Structure 1
Amino acid sequence: MKSNLLMNFTVNKENNTVNVKREFNAPLSNVWSAWTEAAILDQWWAPAPWKSRTKSMDFKEGGRRLYAMVGPEGEEHWAIADFTSISPKTNFKYKDAFSDSEGNLNTDFPRSNWDVTFSEEGDHTFVDIVIKHEKLSDLEAIIQMGFKEGFTIAMEGLDEIFAKQA
């Protein structure tokens, strides 16, 4: 299902950031829940046919989500999100990283800082995401891995969840 909702994806190589602005046909409270509750995150966070599986999540400042991206053959890629700042229904920030199944950092891959802002306009919600990388080469590595394509598919999976709620 192709979405006609706003999806802007821009890469800024000057300051090593990716900016994604995405519109959802859902109220702010539903969108906030979808981004901050493990049970809903697991339904859309991985691009199909991959699945997301949360092992643990403590959504608070200083808390962490430990999860796996599980592939169609059962392969697992583990990651963590360390929450650094939360302003309910408005914004949250976290440090993203690849890890092992126990949450130990995989230093072969770069960490990135995610800054996720929510705003409501009428019956639609906009999510504005800024992902900052330490080095340009880190940013380029993520783009090469197919981040834009994968994230676009995941966003469309989230649209389907909201369509069912409507």
Structure 2
Amino acid sequence: MTQPQFELAIERQINASPESVFKVWTQRTEEWFAPKPWKTRIIEQDFRPGGRSCLVMSGPDGTETSPMDGVFLEVIPNRSIVFTDAFTVGWIPQSPAFMVGFATLTPKDGGTFYRAGARHWDEESMKKHEAMGFREGWGTVVAQLAALAEAEG
């Protein structure tokens, strides 16, 4: 597969099965989705195509982000999750759309090869996301996800 032109991604081998990684991704999101000491509060996570994905992050000082509201485009248990902020529930377009996010879980070497990232509409959006600390932030949350999944078994 050709890498999309405006993609940022993080890859990591996780010493846990795809089933464990998927379980933590979908059932323990609040524990890993924001780099600590930030916290995540789920408003709704309906893991099905067209289902709502909405959450808020809060910093150590209590400051909250605007709700990150979008939909899931694809959910294949133990294999992949794709989501976007381009639509709200009912396929209602919203602006400005920022990205399509994805996570793939591939069985490898007795564990999971995890690849997660964001695909952007243009170079400017991609560079803005990178400047916001994409690599550090997403790298931190992937490490948090891995620690929880590896503890699960």
Query: Do both share a fold (TM > 0.5)?
Result: yes
- The alignment partner of 2:78 has SS state of coil
Query: How far apart in 2 are the matches of 1:80 and 1:135?
Result: 20
Deviation digits for residues 51-108 of structure 1, max 9, x if unmatched?
11101111111101210111101111121241112222222211136x9xxxx9563x
- The alignment partner of 1:48 has SS state of coil
Instruction: Indicate which of 103, 111, 117 corresponds to 2:104.
Output: 117
The Cα of 1:130 is off from its aligned counterpart by 4.3
TM-score, normalization: structure 1? 0.77
| Change beyond 3 A, Cα 1:91–1:162 | closer
The Cα of 1:33 is off from its aligned counterpart by 1.3
The Cα of 1:158 is off from its aligned counterpart by 1.8
| Change beyond 3 A, Cα 1:53–1:63 | same
Query: How far apart in 2 are the matches of 1:68 and 1:55?
Result: 7
Which amino acid counterpart does residue 124 of structure 1 have in structure 2?
G
| Change beyond 3 A, Cα 1:84–1:162 | closer
Instruction: Indicate which of 24, 33, 37 corresponds to 1:49.
Output: 37
| Change beyond 3 A, Cα 1:36–1:165 | closer
Query: How far apart in 2 are the matches of 1:29 and 1:130?
Result: 20
Would you say 1:71 and 2:59 are equivalent positions?
yes
RMSD: 2.3
TM-score, normalization: structure 2? 0.83
- The alignment partner of 2:50 has SS state of coil
Which amino acid counterpart does residue 8 of structure 2 have in structure 1?
V
**Map of 1:127 onto structure 2:** 114
Query: How far apart in 2 are the matches of 1:123 and 1:95?
Result: 31
**Map of 1:84 onto structure 2:** 73
Structure 1 unaligned residues grouped into runs of 5+: 1-11
Instruction: Say which structure, 1 or 2, has more relative contact order (CA 8 Å, 6+ apart).
Output: 2
Would you say 1:155 and 2:142 are equivalent positions?
yes
Q: How does 1:87-106 map to 2 (within 5 A)?
A: 87-96=76-85
Query: How far apart in 1 are the matches of 2:53 and 2:33?
Result: 12
Percent identical among aligned pairs is 26
Query: How far apart in 2 are the matches of 1:129 and 1:164?
Result: 20
Aligned length: 145
The Cα of 1:122 is off from its aligned counterpart by 3.4
| Change beyond 3 A, Cα 1:32–1:163 | closer
**Map of 1:4 onto structure 2:** none
Structure 2 unaligned residues grouped into runs of 5+: none
Would you say 1:18 and 2:8 are equivalent positions?
yes
